Amino acid sequence: MSPQVNVDSPRSLKLPSQFPFSVVKIHWKQKPTEKLAMDSAPLCPLHFVFIPFMAPGHVIPMVDMAKLFARRKVNVTIVTTPLNSIQFQATIDREIKSGSPIQIQIVEFPFAEAGIPKGCESIDTLPSMSLMSNFNKAVCMMQQPIEELLEKLSPIPCCIIADKHIIYVADIANKFNVPRIIFDGTNCFHLLCNHILRKERVHEDVSHHEEKFVVPGMPGRIELKRSQLPGIFNPGKDMELNVFREQVKESEAKAYGIVVNSFEELEGEYVEEYKRVTGHKVWCVGPVSLSNNDELDKALRIQRDSSHDESKYVKWLDSWPPRSVIYVCLGSLNRAIPKQLIELGLGLEATKRPFIWVLRGGYGREEMEKWLLEDGFEERVKGRGILIKGWAPQVLILPHKAIGAFVTHCGWNSTLEGICAGVPLVTFPLFGEQFYNEKVVVQVMENGVSVGAESVVHLGEEDNSPVQVMKGNVKDAIEKVMGEGEEEEKFRERARKYRDMAWKAIEEGGSSYHNMSQLIEDILHVKG
């Protein structure tokens, strides 16, 4: 199977009915007179190729990062599949009009060959997580088409920045003799913690999953439980997934460097320690979500559901006093079981405060819909509670002056977006590295409180997951950051402090701006 690349004319696709529009092949365009936060430097003789993994939490930050590089006059190509490209087509079109040398190139997704239903080109669209192995198979089948695509690109690519889960990019980079930089999608706290645990294996010495242990070598005293560690330290029953995780780990070690969506003022000690103990090149260039620097950017950032009118949420928020509304979102790959979500909803109701609750597909959608209908929850909270069933314009909602707290699953993208908005966080980690991120928020930044979740909900084992957090826990945690006392005000002060740091880091002269310059210089040197 070879990619259909045609840079001379638009390309239409036969898409499912929920995507009633066409994908247009983007042309190189530069209009120096139409600028949007563009760097004033002359066009850089470099061409970076970005290859994101097909899941919202991976695609979104890589597209944001690609935009930032293009604004620095680096030629940028984003390689993705037809349905994934639709989601960020509008924001890339806007970048091109501003003068950025950026384009999207399409590679077909082999859903039929891999045994995946048509239209499922992103993890969050899979009808069942049991298809994860099929999905990874489809991703691996894209290697040859991507190689053929890169051969036709002009100018010739001189660097590939790819998600760490696309392991065959190592072979592609070797074939084209260009550096491969991996995008991890988390932070240096997570990278350092994983490195130490792999080396020291102290978690294996505890007698019980719920017993605490200290992670040696981490700046500060960091305590974790084995039950809170990512899947690589708690392998499940899916042997193919376990093997894949090991392959990812091996591939990481061979990369030229790692680009991280974080900023040094947030976790500087962990950045330096990770560089020291591994010898890896690390560039912190975030928060990349701040590439969306006006309301239209935020609204166009990703188009997951065209039926939503983002302006109605803003108008509703305008009707509430400052810091009065709770925003709740447990991520695009929600792993919370319905009984746990029900406790969360009842806790929100018990606060008597206004709220926006984002309920994405995820696990147990039908059961949640049944509860909402039969329990009468929506009717009881009518007027002060909004339920968004699907995608929400999070970067548009969070900075609104009415938002007083963000209840988050601690996915790193969401955590950073909350930090950039200057909002105190209520942490509800579910899976992956999210318990690490909770430590960053609650212990390192002291910018939030935990609802009390204790164990990872592993992929494919949701049915065996107990209810960990009761409605009273939810209500109490929210009140700890939204009340009017001295402690609550300290949370708000720290939230504002880190928000200001984040914005300064990404601006010209800031640490992340400097690190991006260093990366560009590094690749220029390699190319020379």
Kindly list the catalytic residues.
Answer: 58, 163
What distance in Å separates the CA atoms of residue 76 and residue 370, rounded to the nearest whole number? 46
Residue with tokens 């939204």: 482
Contacts of 75 by beta carbon, 8 Å cutoff, 6+ apart: 28, 43, 44, 46, 47, 48, 101, 102, 155
3-state DSSP helix/strand/coil % of the chain, to nearest 5: 45, 15, 40
Residue with tokens 């020379």: 528
Tell me the β-bridge partners of 104: 78
What distance in Å separates the CA atoms of residue 428 and residue 453, rounded to the nearest whole number? 6
What distance in Å separates the CA atoms of residue 421 and residue 503, rounded to the nearest whole number? 10
What distance in Å separates the CA atoms of residue 361 and residue 408, rounded to the nearest whole number? 16
Edge-to-edge strand list for the sheet holding 282-284: 102-106, 74-80, 44-51, 159-163, 180-183, 257-260, 282-284
Q: What string of DSSP letters covers 407-454?
A: EE---HHHHHHHHHHT--EEE---STTHHHHHHIIIIII--EEE----
Residue with tokens 């009140």: 479
Nearest residue to 286 (alpha-carbon basis) of 103, 498, 122, 80: 498
The DSSP secondary-structure symbol of 186 reads: S
What distance in Å separates the CA atoms of residue 270 and residue 189, rounded to the nearest whole number? 5
